[in-house]
Amino acid sequence: MAAPNEAGNKKKSSYELMSAETKAMQDDASLNPAMFWVAEGESLWQSKAGSKNIACASCHGDAKKSMRGVATQYPKMVKGKLQTLEGQINQCRSGAQGSPALAYESKELLAITAYIALQSKGMPIAVRETSANKAELEKGRHSFNERMGQLNLSCAQCHEDRAGLKLGGSPIPQGHPNAYPIYRLEWQTLGSLQRRLRNCMSGVRAQQFEYGSPEMAQLELFLMWRAKGMLLEAPGVRP
């Protein structure tokens, strides 16, 4: 099964569609608002927590070494379950630290995710189809191509069939997830890929997948597989 755009149109990050000013915000750490979350994530990495009173660093050491390349591999199968990066962070919290799971879109979960993702910035997305994830990948592919909502549109109709055209005066991107979590100027805060997917579902007036649901993980898996080889930009900035 070949990835879309692999043999035809070149995979293009939505970074290439942004203004010079917005690109500069992403490129310069002193201008990128997401770096406030990264700094918080670095602090949380070192902070002991939970009933076991241990930190992320207690197990994983220096994130700049131990987390390099990690974000390029998620979602992936972990002990027979498809796990997103956020899901794995929460699994470590509950299992290793004895801490409650962090809420999706909470400052803390976004901060740790952004800090981990930063360690893989500039590395190619490495998600591949395997015998272990094939069924989950197919479900994500189905979600991407299935029409949904009152507008009866699929992800593919916008981000493949109409990519490069304009909607409301703005170019339609190919819909690659290579910059998440992102600081979106429209949101005025950092947000996850799942938040963006839920925005799209709301836009076509469809029932949104729940945060942390298997359906979200499957769709994330397909999108990361579809973007394999693209360089990770996280944490990105978008309009």
Phi then psi dihedrals of residue 183, to 5 deg: -90, 115
| pLDDT over 50 (residue 7) | no
- The CA angle 86-94-116, to the nearest 5 degrees, is 35
The answer to whether the Cα torsion of 73, 122, 57, 42 is positive or negative is negative
Closest of 156, 235, 159, 155 to residue 191, by C-alpha? 235
68, 122 contact by CB (below 8 A): no
**Do 44 and 112 contact (CB within 8 A), yes or no?**
yes
The fold adopted by the segment(s) 35-118 is: Cytochrome Bc1 Complex; Chain D, domain 2 (1.10.760)
Q: Do domains 35-118 and 125-238 have the same CATH topology?
A: yes
For the chain, the structural domain boundaries read: 35-118, 125-238
> Which CATH code for domain 125-238?
1.10.760.10
On whether the CB atoms of residues 193 and 114 are closer than 8 A, the answer is no
3-state DSSP of 143-179:
HHHCCECCCCECHHHHHHHCCCCEECCEECCCCCCCC
Catalytic positions are 200
Provide the pLDDT for residue 168: 84
| Dist. CA 175–CA 226, nearest whole Å | 10
pLDDT tens for 181-228 read 999 999 999 999 999 999 999 999 999 999 999 999 999 999 999 999
Per-residue pLDDT tens for 38-47? 999 999 999 9
pLDDT at 167: 87
Rounded to two decimals, the pTM is: 0.93
**What pLDDT, on a 0 to 100 scale, did the predictor assign at position 169?**
86
